[in-house]
A and B are shown apart, each in its own frame.
Chain A
Amino acid sequence: MSEDDVFRALGDASRRTLLDRLHHRNGQTLNELCAGLDMTRQAVTKHLSILEHANLIAVQRQGREKLHFINPVPINDIAERWIEKFQRGHLRALSALRKALEEDDHE
């Protein structure tokens, strides 16, 4: 799994949604991940296999079930390689500012 695989895997809204769901609650089964999603089971399976190939999720067997866990290691590597060196502190301040302004707009 190269950095290309990680960026390609992240370059899809459905796969980012699946990662968000695992971040919200780690260790879900395929059935749990499919629940409430506007995607076929086959599509979810395909996205999960791309995420697994990119090492963004790890799959562990527990009894008869396969549980999916988010693996933060490649995301940390991207952060170090592409974000840390561009002064994360300033970026965080900018992102906080944008969030604050956009929340104002929504009121």
Chain B
Amino acid sequence: MSEAAQSTFVYVTYIRTSAEKLWSALLMPEFTQQYWYNMRMVSDWKAGASWQLVFADGRIGDTGEVLEIDPPRRLVLRWQNEFRPEIKAEGPSQCTFELEPSGDITKLTITHSSPRPNSKLIVAVSGGWPMILANLKTLLETGKPMAAQKL
């Protein structure tokens, strides 16, 4: 497929932590709610399992299926937005997390793509991911989330 026919964003950040700690921070609800707009990631984390991203008030933000899971290196999720009708209508996207440890630093690459050109989902997440990753980096490197007003 030509890249023009789909929408893809790639985010790369380097975090001074182990791949194992970063993996837990990406998947465990008690971690995610500290850096991910108070949202909780919920799943059994097995290939084929469903997952949900749940708002603090219980509303479902996003859902999908675990397509591939290889802890603590690689996670591929089918990603369906649920809370914005115009984005939900686009159908599923795919999000890949890759963790590459190197010394005391772990490189995290997130690739989020939609088969649709000019996807609204990809534009919406492109604003969210950099801030979520900045919060995650601060949490893992200092043990504290960023100031509350950032979330």
Residues of A contacting B11 with CB < 8 Å?
58, 71-73
Q: Interface range on chain B: under 10, 10 to 19, 20 to 34, or 35 or more?
A: 10 to 19
Q: Which residue of B lies closest to A25 (CB)?
A: B4
Q: Is B10 an interface residue (CB 8 A)?
A: yes
Known: A28-B3, A76-B130, A80-B134. A55 touches B12 (CB 8 A): yes
Q: Which residue of B lies closest to A63 (CB)?
A: B1
What secondary structure prevails in chain B residues at the interface with A?
A: strand
The CA of A10 and the CA of B3, in the complex, are separated in Å by 26
The smallest C-beta distance from B4 to any residue of chain A, in angstroms, reads 7
The CA of A60 and the CA of B3, in the complex, are separated in Å by 12
The CA of A80 and the CA of B132, in the complex, are separated in Å by 13
Q: Is B83 an interface residue (CB 8 A)?
A: no
Whether B133 pairs with A62 at a CB distance below 8 angstroms is no
Whether B10 pairs with A71 at a CB distance below 8 angstroms is yes
Q: Is B34 an interface residue (CB 8 A)?
A: no
How many residues on chain A are close to B (CB under 8 Å)? 19
The smallest C-beta distance from A66 to any residue of chain B, in angstroms, reads 11
Known: A1-B14, A58-B109. A72 touches B126 (CB 8 A): yes
Q: Is A95 an interface residue (CB 8 A)?
A: no
Interface string of B1-42 (1 = CB under 8 A from A): 001100111111110000000000000000000000000000
The CA of A58 and the CA of B129, in the complex, are separated in Å by 15
Whether B10 pairs with A58 at a CB distance below 8 angstroms is yes
Known: A55-B14, A67-B3, A72-B126. A27 touches B8 (CB 8 A): yes
The CA of A77 and the CA of B109, in the complex, are separated in Å by 16
Whether B134 pairs with A69 at a CB distance below 8 angstroms is no
Q: Which residue of B lies closest to A80 (CB)?
A: B134
The smallest C-beta distance from A86 to any residue of chain B, in angstroms, reads 16
Residues of A contacting B7 with CB < 8 Å?
26
Whether A60 pairs with B10 at a CB distance below 8 angstroms is yes
The CA of A77 and the CA of B131, in the complex, are separated in Å by 9
- Tell me the A residues contacting B by CB distance below 8 Å: 1, 25-28, 55, 58, 60, 62, 67, 69-73, 75-77, 80
